[in-house]
Amino acid sequence: MSRQVRDRRPRQNTSPSDAAMVAQVRDAVLSQAEPVTGARLAAAVQSTGRLLGSEGAFRTLDRVRAELQGLGPLQRFAEDPAVTDILVNGAGAVWIDDGGGLQRTELAFSSDADVRALATRLVSAGGRRLDDGNPCVDVRLDRFRVHAVLPPLSTTGTLLSIRIQRQRHFSFEELVSSGALDLRMSAALRGIVGKRLNFLISGATGTGKTTLLAALLSLSAPHERLVTVEDSAELSPAHPHAVGLQSRHGNVEGRGSVDLAELVRQALRMRPDRLIVGECRGAEVRELLAAMNTGHDGAGGTIHANSAASVPARLSALAALAGMEARPLALQAANALDVIIHVIRTAGGRTVSEVGVLETAGNGELVVRTALARNGATSEPGPAWEALAAKLDRGR
C-alpha cells in the first residue's frame, strides 16, 4: 500500500522571474534550426543580459537542458540513483518510489498544460504522438519507459508514469546479502539455473521480478547464448553472450507493429541456449510454452500474479488470448514449466517468498505446490520439496 511521507529532498523554489528567464532561454534556442549544444545554451543564457554569476548560469543551463532534452522539472528525481518510478497525477501531485514505497513530493506543476506539454514532448521523442486522437501512449526513451494518459480518459488531469532503468544491476550475491534470499532459497535458485529447469518469476508490480530475473540469468554458463524478448527493454544480465529483442508499436497508420509472439518465433531461429520472455502478458505465452516443450530448456520469464497459487489462473487468462483452451494449456504448461518463483514487497524490502512446483491435479487442472516458503528470515520446505529436489537432482 502506498504511504505518504514528506519529501526528504530539498525543495527547489522557482520564482516567476526565474521561470520566465528559463522560458526565454528555451524559446531562444528553439527559434534556431540548429542542434542544441552547450555553446548555444550558454550563448542564449548570456543573451538575457542578467547577471547570474557562474553558479546561477550553470543552474540555468541545467534547467534549460532538462526542459529541452530531459524530464523537465522531474529531472532531479531521475538523477537520484535510488528512484525507480516517477508518477505525475495532474499538475498538483508528483510521487516517486526510491525503494521505500511510493512517496509524495513537494513538487507541483504550474498547470495541467505544463504536464501535457512535457508528456507530449517525451512521447514525440519516442517516435509516437500524444493528442486527443491518441490519448494513451507508451514509449521507450533510452533508460526511461514513459506512459501517458490525457483527459478526459484521465479524470485527474494528464497522467505521466515514468519507469527508470538503472545501469547498475544487482548481482545474485547482492540479493543474498540484502536479505532478499536466504541460503536455502539461494541454493535452490542456483540449482534451478544450473540444471536448466524452466521457470517463471511471479509477483505484483514493483516487486523486483525483472531484477531477480537478470540476477538469475547472470548465473548461466558463459558459453550459453541468451536471447531475451521484451515489450520494453529492461533486462540487462551480466552475461557475455546475451542479445535482446524488443517489440515495436505501429506507426500513426497502425502499421509496422511487431508483437511479442512474433519476436518469440524469431528468437527461436537465433539458436538460443536460453529463451527469456521479460514479461508474459498476452498470446506470446503459447509460443513460449511450445518452445519449452520442444527442447528449449533453461527458459524463463516473468508474469504478473498476486501469489504463486494464482499463476495457473493467470496462465489460463493469457492462453485464452491465444485461442488455447484450458485442457491443452494444462498439458503444455505441466510438461513445459518446472518451477514458479514468487516475489513480494514487504516493509523490509523485496524478497522471494516462495518456490513452487507446477503440476496437474487429479481433475486435470494446473496447481502450484509449495516447495520452499519464506518464514521470517529463513525458508522452510513445503509439501513439494521432494518433487523439487528430484528435479534438481536429475535436471531436465
Write out pLDDT tens, residues 92-130: 999 999 877 889 999 999 999 999 989 998 888 887 889
Q: How high is the pLDDT of residue 141?
A: 80
Q: Which parts of the chain sit beneath pLDDT 70?
A: 1-69, 166-168, 251-254, 396
Q: How high is the pLDDT of residue 395?
A: 74
What are the CB-based long-range contacts (under 8 Å, 24+) for 203-207?
Answer: 203/302, 203/304, 203/305, 203/342, 203/343, 203/344, 204/304, 204/305, 204/306, 204/344, 204/345, 205/304, 206/84, 206/85, 206/97, 206/345, 207/343, 207/344, 207/345, 207/350
Q: How high is the pLDDT of residue 15?
A: 46
Q: How high is the pLDDT of residue 124?
A: 84
Distance of CA 338 to CAs 284, 286, 366, Å?
Answer: 18, 16, 12
Q: How high is the pLDDT of residue 294?
A: 85
Q: How high is the pLDDT of residue 153?
A: 96
Which ranges in the chain belong to alpha helices (H)?
A: 16-30, 38-46, 53-69, 75-78, 112-125, 172-178, 183-194, 209-217, 260-267, 284-292, 311-321, 326-336, 385-394
Q: How high is the pLDDT of residue 254?
A: 66
Q: How high is the pLDDT of residue 7?
A: 44
Q: How high is the pLDDT of residue 324?
A: 87
